[in-house]
Amino acid sequence: MASAIGVLSLQGDVAEHCRSIEALGRRAIQIRYARQMDSVDGLIIPGGESTTIAKLTADNADAIFDRIREFIDAGKPVYGTCMGSIFLAKEIEGSAQGRLAAMDIKVRRNAFGPQRFSFETTLNIPVLGEEPLNAIFIRGPVILSASENVEVMARVDANIGRLGKTAGSLPGESALYDSCIVMARQNNLLVSSFHPELTDDLRVHHYFLQMVEGLAPAKVSKDFEQFVHTKTPHTVNPMTLAAV
Amino acid sequence: MAVETKEKKGGNILTGSDKVKKALPQMLKGGVIMDVVNAEQAKIAEAAGAVAVMALERVPADIRAEGGVSRMSDPELVAKIIESVSIPVMAKARIGHFVEAQILQSLGVDCIDESEVLTPADEEYHIDKSKFEIPFVCGARNLGEALRRIGEGAAMIRTKGEAGTGDVVEAVRHARKILGEIRALSIMPREELMTYAKQIGAPFELVVKVAEEGKLPVVNFAAGGIATPADAALMMQIGVEGVFVGSGIFKSGNPEKRALAIVKATTFYQDPEVLAEVSRNLGEPMVGRTAASLAATETLATRGW
């Protein structure tokens, strides 16, 4: 039976994700309550404001926050775009805001600066094929560092917007970021700093559906390793994830 | 000339494109944007779950009470608000005052509201919003007005309502009018579209687009007179994609509690149990004034052309 995909519908660009999922011939279900989670095989956390989603999930009689944690612990796939990637992260730089703390990544919110530095670009993402992907970043986050079990799928140069000026600004961090991670996967969790749901290119959603259907095993391919090394001679400084 | 072209290309990086400008409001959908006059209010709004704050000199209720010319906020205040919160910051510029808009863009605001709540600077022309790198939101009372603003480059539309009254009736009127006209347009035969575009004073290409897609090509929020969680849910059920709350929060007895209640009501707008729960014991609402009691010279919604 074709999978049903939930889109967390507390706030954000829900309709755009539903449209992408439906364009791939799957059913999209807008999720507002914990009980609805039983009927989906994968969950998308859309773009939006991470402080809003933290407030709405923490300060709510409904147990949706715990239910999503269980869903992740059970190995069910979750894809977070922009706000979704922040909500999934273990560490959010300089913030104690609520989060699922499921993925071994450290993110910086709004890493490129205000909206005038929001941008579109093309990214080469080997797992999606040779055709570059049009990627739209809207006050987007970046992943500053990730543990070894996280697959890095795409990066951008650190000289975009204010990223280069701010990366490495905290004590103990290298000031020599040459690039930052903008798409990554850790087992059942997929995140992107950009918004494939705003374009007609369905490859990222298709990849996520393959994860849901068990057709995209998490592993580091040879191509992928080559990509990491050619794009980034200096890898991001290793980090120790603080207990959250 | 400070502002020459909206799109800037550096290597493989394109900022200020239509797609990038329209996308910011898309991320705000299902959320509440709150009017604030200083950094303290902005922090309260953020803590309550606002998706963005709107910086302005005085909230509309005070503009009504005090009169005088109402302008863009002091850049110092806008800068302090930007520093104090992590969510997007919007700010109001006067209708037609493209220099206020240039200043706000240079300060780093995320979106500009070319707003009828401030005293218009031009009684004939609006700002050419396509020239700017950041998105604009504009008020509208009907589809023609909405499409004229989109034609000028607005990346987001809101109902005008009647700001500073605490009376939701005008926001309802404008939302019903815009959404009703879209519904009528979506079943209109092709040969009628040109005459319809002429009648409502809207660009033909945008009329065709709305007819084909059955919705505005940009995000559509409600604004003007929303004062309670039930008001916010009413606007959402009528069919808007999010709400602006102006005087309704910081002119009420308990801003923190009311702000959070309106945020929850905007998310769970279809759930009367949640609405009943969040509406309890909110303290005094803002002192309202019926929109019908306003003299013609007091209405703000008639500003804009």
Q: What is the mean pLDDT of chain A?
A: 86
pLDDT at A126: 92
Return the residue of A nearest to B29 by Cα.
A12
Which of A116, A120, A160 has the CB atom closest to B133's CB atom?
A: A116
A214 to chain B, closest Cα gap in Å: 30
In total, chain B counts a number of residues equal to: 305
Q: State how far residue A144 is from chain B, nearest Cα, in angstroms.
A: 18
pLDDT at A30 over 80: yes
pTM of this structure: 0.92
- How many CB pairs below 8 A link A and B? 123
Residue A162 pLDDT level (bands cut at 50, 70, 90): confident
B206 inside 8 A of chain A by CB: no
Alpha-carbon distance A212 to nearest alpha carbon in chain B (angstroms): 25
How sure is the predictor about B279, in pLDDT bands with cuts at 50, 70 and 90?
very high
| In chain B, residues 39-78 whose CB comes closer than 8 Å to chain A | 46-52
- Does B17 reach chain A within 8 Å, measured CB to CB? yes
pLDDT band (50, 70, 90) for residue A62: confident
HSE (side-chain half, CA atoms, 13 Å) at A239: 25
* Mean pLDDT of all residues in A214-236: 51
In this prediction, residue A243 carries a pLDDT of 31
User: How far from A240 is each of B17, B219, B259, CA to CA, in Å?
Assistant: 38, 41, 38
> Do A138 and B20 count as a contact with CB atoms less than 8 A apart?
yes
Substitution target from B6, B27, B213 for chain A, most A beta carbons within 10 A: B27
- If DSSP codes are grouped into helix, strand and coil, which group holds residue A211? helix
Q: Tell me if A49 and B264 make a contact (CB, 8 A cut-off).
A: no
DSSP letters along B9-65, please? EETTEEES-HHHHHHHHHHTTT-EEEEESSHHHHHHHHHTT-SEEEE-SS-HHHHHH
pLDDT band at A60 (very low <50, low <70, confident <90, very high): low
Interface contact A82-B27, CB threshold 8 A: yes
pLDDT-derived band of residue A236, with 50, 70 and 90 as boundaries?
very low
For B16, name the nearest residue in chain A, comparing CA atoms only.
A116
Window from A52-66, A218-232, B99-113 with minimum mean pLDDT: A218-232
Please state the ipTM of this predicted complex.
Answer: 0.94
For the residues B244-264, what does the mean pLDDT come to? 94
Please write the tens of the pLDDT for every residue from A130-143.
999 999 999 999 99
In terms of pLDDT, which residue wins out, B6 or B180?
B180
Number of separate helices (H) and strands (E) present in chain B: 13, 10
B19, B27, B82 member nearest A48 (Cβ)? B27
Separation of alpha carbons A98 and A69, rounded Å: 13
CA distance A136 to chain B (A): 7
Chain A hits for B87, CB-CB cut-off 8 Å, are 49, 51-52
B202 touches chain A (CB under 8 A): no
Residue B227's nearest CA partner among B257, B249, B242 is B249
What is the rounded end-to-end Cα distance, in angstroms, of chain A?
38
What phi-psi label fits residue B281: left (phi over 0), alpha (psi between -120 and 50 degrees) or beta?
Answer: left
pLDDT of residue A166: 56
pLDDT, tens only, A104-153: 999 999 999 999 999 999 999 999 999 999 999 999 999 999 999 999 99
Mean pLDDT of all residues in B3-19: 75
B215 touches chain A (CB under 8 A): no
pLDDT band at B286 (very low <50, low <70, confident <90, very high): confident
Mean pLDDT confidence for B225-245: 97
Which token pair is A138? 């809207």
